A and B are shown apart, each in its own frame.
Chain A
Amino acid sequence: DIQMTQSPSSLSASVGDRVTITCRASQSISSYLNWYQQKPGKAPKLLIFAASNLQSGVPSRVSGSGSGTDFTLTISNLQPEDFATYYCQQTYSKPETFGQGTKVEIK
Chain B
Amino acid sequence: QVQLVESGGGLVRPGGSLRLSCAASGFTFSDYYMTWIRQAPGKGLEWLSYISSRDNTIYYADSVKGRFAISRDNAKNSLFLQMSSLRAEDTAVYYCARGEYSSSSLDYWGQGTLVTVSS
Binding site for B on A (CB under 8 A): 1, 32, 34, 36, 38, 42-46, 49-50, 53, 55, 87, 89, 91, 94-101
Dominant SS among interface residues on chain B? strand
Q: Answer yes or no: B27 CB below 8 A from chain A CBs.
A: no
Q: Say yes or no: B106 contacts A46, CB within 8 Å.
A: yes
A97 to B77, CA, bound (A): 26
Which of B35, B47, B111 has the most chain A CB within a 10 Å cutoff? B47
* Contact flag A91-B104 (CB < 8 Å), given A43-B95, A45-B109, A96-B35: yes
Known pairs A43-B111, A46-B106, A87-B44; list 9 more (Cβ under 8 Å): A34-B104, A36-B45, A36-B106, A43-B109, A44-B45, A89-B45, A97-B47, A98-B47, A101-B45
A42, closest chain B residue (CB): B111
Residues of B within 8 A of A34 (CB): 103-106
